[in-house]
């Protein structure tokens, strides 16, 4: 199998017929670190960051910048990379805030999302010096004003505005329509109201607007359409209320390739197209171009990840279905159960053997929905002890992992620039699982 058949160029096959990832033999990594194991390619993460930072410098300039969307994969080492690569970050919980803080990240460059921040979240974020709150509604606005007044500070915020854009992606990750749980809609007139309220608060500094249309977006003009709506709306607010937004955060959501039928998305080209749409609309509306922010998450870490499993059994039901069961499952990757998400899977130690067995790759949980992927072609000789590799698992696998059936989470093993591999998140133990139980 040649490298040009793979969905990402950090995957290959070596002379032993073993799958490689970031130049390392996955069978050797499975033997060294045991399975299940999340692999991460540090070089790929840094490459993806630089695609964004260079495109922003070229097409937007000034203070415009990309932020890493922490919810895609949050652990201390990732924030060290983001700091070194000059990336901002967004965070969605006190846990992500603490993780970034403990990693030494400067939280004045961080944006705090979430549609339901508690009073404790708001206080904790201010205590650690969060740069910006992305405010989702009136109650949160008033809660931030109250806490900022108590601290005698003026807190920077952006307002999350719903532009009414349908990105035609999974319904579960579509966030840009009027009836989304996120943000305040333009169409209903409520966006105008919350902007006026924000401007009236003495301890709040309204910096600008945020919008986000959804995830895994490939459609040609989704971001451009959202940008036109938001720039026109910015101009409307300037004309009617004499407020000019300094920042416009376009959110994240660029799609990545999970299977070979997914299109290739040229991020640099998409950012250039977005800049063209924003600049042209600002010129027509006769307003200055705001500082542009975006929040890539999946497109930074997804193809920098791979998960390795060991086969426990191969169940062949003549004339029906074959099942390859592995030592992980929906506990370490719930995305198929949630969204029916597609993945590319291989028998990593038998890459030169013909893939002639159609099967479902399934997990170890007592749950019929515990499926990694349906209708996968693997070698007929796949058997107990073989290594199954699932590609493009760097986003929303570790971050969405659970302890269903009291199964510990796998470790994260980072393959560094010099080709060495090290645990950056250790494997959970059974003792970890019961450590919080009270006798």
Q: Which of these, 304, 308, 303, 302, lies nearest to 389 by C-alpha position?
A: 308
Is 211 labeled as catalytic in the residue annotation?
no
pLDDT at 130: 98
Domains present along the chain, CATH in parentheses: 3-41+303-434 (2.40.37.10), 113-296 (3.20.20.10)
| Beta-strand relationship, 247-249 and 371-378 | unpaired
Rounded to two decimals, what is the model's pTM? 0.94
Q: What is the pLDDT of residues 90-122, one digit of tens each?
A: 999 999 999 999 999 999 999 999 999 999 999
Query: Hey, which residues does 294 pair with through a beta bridge?
Result: 66
| Percent of the chain residues topping a pLDDT of 90 | 88
pLDDT at 272: 96
Q: Say how far apart CA 416 and CA 44 lie, in whole Å.
A: 10
Listed range (40-44, 173-177, 274-278, 290-294) with the worst mean pLDDT: 173-177
State the alpha helices, DSSP H only, in 366-408: none
**Is-contact 388 308, C-beta < 8 A?**
yes
pLDDT at residue 30 greater than cutoff 70: yes
Q: Say how far apart CA 152 and CA 203 lie, in whole Å.
A: 8
Find where tokens 């919350």 sit.
Answer: 194
pLDDT at 219: 67
Q: Which of these, 38, 35, 24, 14, lies nearest to 350 by C-alpha position?
A: 14
pLDDT band at 181 (very low <50, low <70, confident <90, very high): low
**Is-contact 233 161, C-beta < 8 A?**
yes
Cα Rg for the chain, rounded, in angstroms?
A: 23
Q: Which of these, 367, 424, 433, lies nearest to 41 by C-alpha position?
A: 424
Q: What is the pLDDT of residues 110-156, one digit of tens each?
A: 999 999 999 999 999 999 999 999 999 999 999 999 999 999 999 99
**Residue 297 neighbours by CB distance under 10 Å:** 26
Average pLDDT over residues 383-398: 98
- Which positions ≥6 away from 91 have C-beta within 8 Å? 70, 74, 97, 100, 110, 111, 112, 113, 130
244 token code pair: 């000019």
Q: Say how far apart CA 171 and CA 339 lie, in whole Å.
A: 9
| Percent of the chain residues topping a pLDDT of 70 | 95
pLDDT at residue 172 greater than cutoff 60: no
Average pLDDT over residues 161-172: 62
Average pLDDT over residues 275-283: 97
Q: Tell me how long the chain is.
A: 439
Average pLDDT over residues 48-71: 97
Catalytic residue (one of 8, 345, 359, 366):
366
Q: Which of these, 390, 88, 128, 10, lies nearest to 252 by C-alpha position?
A: 88
- Coil, helix or strand for 344? coil
**Is-contact 217 209, C-beta < 8 A?**
no
pLDDT band at 179 (very low <50, low <70, confident <90, very high): low
Q: Which of these, 21, 1, 25, lies nearest to 11 by C-alpha position?
A: 21
Q: Say how far apart CA 208 and CA 245 lie, in whole Å.
A: 4
């Amino acid at each position: 199998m040649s490298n040009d058949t793979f969905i990402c160029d950090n995957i290959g096959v070596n002379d032993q017929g073993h799958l490689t990832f970031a130049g390392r033999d996955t069978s050797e990594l499975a033997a060294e670190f045991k399975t299940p194991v999340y692999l991460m390619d540090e070089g790929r993460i840094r490459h993806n960051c630089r695609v964004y930072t260079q495109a922003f410098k070229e097409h937007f300039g000034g203070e415009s910048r990309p932020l890493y969307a922490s919810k895609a994969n949050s652990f201390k080492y990732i924030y060290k990379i983001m700091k070194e690569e000059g990336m901002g970050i967004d965070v969605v919980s006190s846990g992500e805030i603490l993780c970034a803080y403990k990693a030494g990240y400067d939280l004045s460059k961080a944006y705090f999302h979430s549609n339901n921040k508690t009073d404790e979240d708001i206080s904790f974020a201010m205590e650690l010096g969060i740069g910006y709150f992305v405010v989702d509604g009136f109650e949160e606005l008033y809660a931030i004003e109250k806490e900022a007044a108590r601290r005698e500070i003026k807190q920077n915020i952006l307002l999350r505005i719903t532009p009414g854009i349908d990105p035609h992606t999974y319904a579960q990750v579509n966030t840009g329509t009027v009836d989304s749980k996120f943000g305040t809609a333009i169409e209903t007139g409520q966006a105008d109201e919350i902007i006026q309220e924000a401007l009236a608060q003495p301890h709040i500094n309204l910096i600008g607007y945020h919008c986000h249309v959804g995830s895994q977006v490939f459609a040609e003009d989704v971001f451009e359409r959202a940008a036109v709506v938001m720039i026109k709306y910015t101009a409307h607010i300037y004309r009617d209320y004499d407020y000019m937004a300094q920042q416009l955060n376009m959110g994240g959501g660029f799609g990545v390739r999970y299977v070979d039928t997914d299109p290739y998305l040229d991020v640099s080209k998409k950012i250039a197209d977005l800049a063209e749409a924003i600049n042209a609309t600002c010129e027509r509306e006769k307003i200055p171009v705001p500082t542009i922010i975006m929040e890539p998450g999946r497109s930074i870490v997804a193809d920098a990840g791979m998960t390795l499993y060991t086969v426990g059994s191969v169940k062949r039901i003549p004339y029906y279905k074959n099942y390859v069961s592995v030592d992980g499952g929906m506990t370490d990757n719930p995305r198929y159960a949630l969204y029916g998400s597609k993945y590319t899977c291989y028998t990593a130690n038998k890459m030169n053997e013909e893939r002639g067995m159609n099967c479902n790759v399934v997990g170890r949980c007592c749950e019929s929905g515990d499926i990694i992927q349906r209708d996968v072609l693997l070698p007929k000789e796949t058997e107990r002890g073989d290594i199954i590799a699932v590609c493009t698992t760097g986003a929303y696998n570790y971050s969405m992992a659970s302890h269903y059936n009291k199964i510990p989470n796998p470790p994260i093993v980072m393959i560094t620039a010099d080709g060495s591999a090290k645990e950056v998140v250790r494997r959970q133990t059974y003792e970890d699982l019961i450590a919080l139980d009270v006798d």
